[in-house]
Structure 1
Amino acid sequence: MKPIEQIRRENFAALVAAEPSQAAFARKIGKDKNQVSQWLGRAGARNISAETAREIEAMLSKPAGWMDHDHPPTAGSTVVTESQPGGLDAVKLAASIEFLQELFSTWRRPFVAADQAGLIAAVYDELTQTTTPNLVQLSRRVADQLDQEGPDHERQSEARRA
């Protein structure tokens, strides 16, 4: 059986992933973005206390105790796949999406997750296979992959590299 801390973190990551960004989620629950990041496991993985879990549940109209129980995936959100038999790491998946959102924002390019599934998968693979990913190299690989999409993107990538 999973420890309560892991269950809360996984449920928290699923709630965050349903929002456009970590910052938007932080605003929604009235918490600092850095606190949200710490609860997700980036910057030192802090546990979510029972009191905080109840506060978050109340802010999101979830029943008391919701964050303390495993929840099956909802329709359209497959967690276990043949290529990932142990299931996806929700925290690293959320981190992958957040990384790409911030990268695209820096490049002043719209980020639509549904259109960037390949990039999300590539970043996710990097985060799950490497203990300390090189984000600069990862950013360059993302830019290179976007360059392969066509000439319109090449002009944008030159601006990204400048």
Structure 2
Amino acid sequence: MKTIHDIRRSNARKLRDGVGGNSSFATMIDREPTQTSRFMGDGATKNIGDSMARHIEKCFDLPVGWLDQEHQTTNITKKPDVS
């Protein structure tokens, strides 16, 4: 059975892929790519905690708790604001 951390990581990876990769994802959530790699990369060394999960949801305009539920696919293709 998947843990909450596995589910969050899987969903965050789907969001990352939807915006074009780790750098774009990091920009979207106002973090450094190295930090996001620690909790999403292959061999991740950190988990996505509650506060980070809520922060990611807020940055993507997702409802609270979205990251905590399994999603087969996501249609999120939001692009980072680089202005």
TM-score normalised by structure 2 residue count: 0.80
Higher relative contact order (CA 8 A, sep 6+): 2
Select the structure that is richer in helix: 1
The number of residues matched between the two structures is 75
RMSD: 1.7
Gapped regions of structure 1 (runs ≥ 5): 76-162
Give the Cα separation in 1 of the matches to 2:23 and 2:10: 18
Q: How does 1:56-75 map to 2 (within 5 A)?
A: 56-74=56-74
2:42: which partner in 1?
42
* Amino acid paired to 1:20: G
Give the Cα separation in 2 of the matches to 1:46 and 1:29: 16
- The answer to whether structure 1 residue 27 and structure 2 residue 27 are counterparts is yes
- The answer to whether structure 1 residue 52 and structure 2 residue 52 are counterparts is yes
* Amino acid paired to 1:23: S
Q: Shift of the alpha carbon at 1:43?
A: 5.8
Structure showing greater Rg: 1
1:150: which partner in 2?
none
Give the Cα separation in 1 of the matches to 2:44 and 2:13: 15
Give the Cα separation in 2 of the matches to 1:51 and 1:44: 18
Gapped regions of structure 2 (runs ≥ 5): 76-83
* Amino acid paired to 1:49: G
Summarize the Cα distance change of 1:55–1:74 in structure 2 as closer, same or farther, 3 Å threshold.
closer
